């Protein structure tokens, strides 16, 4: 049967005190909306619609192309938000899961298992719920004890004392039969404490129409946790961080002290890799086996092979091949490919460049827009002068070249294989293979100059 998902993300999150949409607030450096989308995709659902409102442009720009977005003009409640997606739901038919964009810890397994129960019980709606220690602020699950079905959901602000004592709460995620959902949305009234159209009211509406509603209660209570403010966001970070650590430790990653360590949920790390304090690994980063990463290192969307050392390094959207020894104090910028066993040392910056295997760039050097061969040696303080004030140009350096200390390479320029540049040269013309390029004034010593000056 056809399955699709609608994710509610129109809210601003006033309590977050954020200028942007709440669903863009991040847990382990990943926007909450992306957590929800990944959980949905992991459950095999490909047709996804996100309801946007506050910060709609920002969300649209962030979301992948294959995600449909619809706009809820005014935030009149979760039921009204689903109405904004009515055309999408009608087109898809079948079953639809509605989820909150601010509850990132929902997982694919829960989505799948809840669907099984939804289908096997023949429900019009099935809510995903869990028992929590502190139900304050959540919708409470009221069970019909005659048959164990879901009677209704009561919001905190509308609950009486007895209902407030219910610890089973609404995650905000529901499976619906699409046609039943669309019909029940027409019956929503904003006659509650907040004057909003509540999605949760569809349950009672469906029951009055003779349909069955059910509960899928999960033992994993973090699934229901939402973040309405920064304190809850920090709590979600704490839970997610621990979960990521536990998974990595189980795979043989060594994290002797987690102080200052943040690792995103999609980062993969090989066994025997050591992660030292103040290391932040985010996005789609993959790190191989037997690496040492940190201390004080940030790696974003990069691919790091086996046996690499990253000591006090910032590495963004780049690739570092096996056995490379990087740091301390190195910045590898986007679109760089650092070869096997390369050494980049103190205060070296590499940008949009390839660096061939075994090359050494040990101190105070900028390699930008360059193609550097294998086994090249850079002396201290070299600069590829890639920008003439209008356009960027490339520098090419052949295998085994030797770039003398304090060389400026004015691009576009080539230093061919096995060539040398003399220290202090400003190289503006190509240096042929096996030649020495010297581009500096000859030294003159003026004898007795100091005495004459006096």
Q: Which residues are catalytic?
A: 363
Backbone angles phi, psi at 160, to 5 degrees: -85, 180
387-426 footprint of ligand UD1 as x/- string (CB under 6 A)? ----------------------------------------
The listed partner (Ca ion, ligand UD1, none) that binds 368, CB under 5 to 8 Å by sort, is none
Residue 176 or 366 with smaller CB distance to ligand UD1: 176
Within 216-235, which residues bind ligand UD1 (CB under 6 A)?
226, 228
Q: Shortest distance, CB of residue 272 to ligand UD1, whole angstroms? A: 40
Q: Which range, of 195-203, 267-275, 283-291, 411-419, touches ligand UD1 by CB under 6 A?
A: 195-203
Q: Which range, of 29-37, 101-109, 235-243, 254-262, touches Ca ion by CB under 5 A?
A: 101-109
Is residue 83 close enough to count as binding ligand UD1 by CB under 6 A?
A: no
Q: Which residue is nearest to ligand UD1 (CB)?
A: 139
Residue 111 or 267 with smaller CB distance to ligand UD1: 111
Residue 203 or 374 with smaller CB distance to ligand UD1: 203
- Taking alpha carbons only, the member of 243, 258, 251 closest to residue 272 is 251
300: left (phi over 0), alpha (psi -120 to 50) or beta: beta
Is residue 138 close enough to count as binding ligand UD1 by CB under 6 A?
A: yes
Contacts with 445 (C-beta within 8 Å, 6 or more apart), sequence order: none
Q: Shortest distance, CB of residue 47 to ligand UD1, whole angstroms? A: 19
For the record, the structure tokens of 66 come out as 């294959």
Is residue 437 close enough to count as binding ligand UD1 by CB under 6 A?
A: no
For the record, the structure tokens of 400 come out as 């085994």
DSSP structure string for 262-327: EE-TT-EE-TT-EE-SSEEEETT-EE-SS-EE-SSEEEES-EE-TT-EESSEEEES-EE-TT-EE-
Are 335 and 350 a contacting pair, CB within 8 Å?
no
Strands 26-27 and 30-31: antiparallel
Q: How many CA atoms lie within 13 A of 372 on its CB side?
A: 35
Is residue 226 close enough to count as binding Ca ion by CB under 5 A?
A: yes
Residue 74 or 451 with smaller CB distance to Ca ion: 74
Per rule CB under 6 A, count of chain residues that contact ligand UD1 = 32
d(CA 130, CA 145): 17
251: left (phi over 0), alpha (psi -120 to 50) or beta: alpha
Name the strands in the sheet holding 348-351, side by side, starting at the edge strand that comes first in the sequence.
262-263, 279-282, 297-300, 313-316, 330-332, 348-351, 365-368, 383-385, 408-410, 426-427
The listed partner (Ca ion, ligand UD1, none) that binds 379, CB under 5 to 8 Å by sort, is none
Residue 229 or 399 with smaller CB distance to Ca ion: 229
2-21 footprint of ligand UD1 as x/- string (CB under 6 A)? ------xxxx----------
The listed partner (Ca ion, ligand UD1, none) that binds 213, CB under 5 to 8 Å by sort, is none
Q: Which residues bind Ca ion (CB under 5 A)?
A: 102, 226, 228
Q: Which residues bind ligand UD1 (CB under 6 A)?
A: 8-11, 22-23, 51, 53, 72, 75-78, 80-81, 100-103, 138-139, 153, 155, 169-172, 198-200, 226, 228
């Amino acid at each position: 049967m056809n399955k699709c998902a609608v994710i509610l993300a129109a809210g601003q999150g006033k309590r977050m005190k954020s200028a942007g949409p709440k669903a863009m607030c991040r847990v382990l450096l990943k926007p909450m909306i992306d957590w929800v989308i990944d959980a949905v995709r992991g459950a095999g659902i490909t047709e996804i619609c996100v309801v946007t409102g506050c910060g709609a442009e920002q969300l649209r720009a962030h979301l992948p192309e294959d995600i449909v977005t619809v706009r809820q003009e005014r935030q009149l409640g979760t039921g009204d938000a689903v109405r904004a997606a009515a055309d999408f739901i009608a087109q898809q038919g079948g079953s639809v899961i509605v989820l909150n964009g601010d509850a990132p810890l929902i997982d694919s397994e829960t989505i799948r298992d809840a669907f099984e129960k939804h289908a096997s019980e023949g429900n019009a709606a099935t809510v995903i719920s869990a028992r929590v220690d502190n139900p304050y602020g959540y919708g409470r699950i009221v069970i019909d004890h005659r048959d164990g079905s879901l009677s209704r959901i009561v919001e905190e602000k509308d609950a009486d004392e007895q209902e407030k004592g219910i610890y089973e709460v609404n995650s905000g995620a529901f499976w619906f039969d699409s046609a039943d959902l669309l019909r029940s949305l027409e019956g929503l009234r904003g006659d509650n404490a907040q004057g909003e159209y509540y999605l949760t009211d569809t349950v009672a509406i469906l029951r009055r129409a003779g349909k069955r509603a059910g509960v899928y209660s999960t033992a994993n209570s973090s699934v229901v946790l939402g973040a309405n403010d920064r304190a809850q966001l920090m709590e979600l970070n704490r839970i997610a961080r621990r979960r990521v650590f536990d998974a990595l430790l189980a795979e043989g990653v060594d994290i002797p002290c987690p102080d200052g360590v943040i690792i995103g949920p999609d980062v993969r790390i090989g066994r025997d890799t050591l992660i030292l304090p103040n290391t932040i690994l985010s996005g789609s980063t993959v790190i191989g086996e037997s690496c040492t990463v940190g201390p004080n290192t940030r790696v974003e969307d990069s691919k790091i092979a086996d046996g690499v050392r990253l000591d006090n390094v910032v590495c963004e959207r780049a690739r570092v091949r096996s056995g490379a020894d990087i740091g301390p104090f190195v910045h590898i910028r986007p679109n760089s490919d650092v070869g096997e066993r390369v050494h980049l040392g103190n205060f070296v910056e590499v940008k949009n460049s390839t660096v061939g295997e075994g090359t050494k760039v040990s101190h105070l050097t900028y390699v930008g827009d360059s193609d550097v061969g294998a086994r090249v040696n850079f002396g201290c303080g070299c600069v590829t002068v890639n920008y003439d004030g209008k356009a960027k140009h490339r520098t090419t350096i052949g295998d085994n070249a030797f770039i003398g200390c304090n060389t400026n390479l004015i691009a576009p320029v080539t230093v061919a294989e096995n060539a040398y540049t003399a220290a202090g040269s400003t190289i503006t013309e190509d240096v042929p293979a096996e030649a020495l390029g010297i581009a500096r004034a000859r030294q003159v010593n003026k004898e007795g100059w100091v005495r004459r000056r006096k």
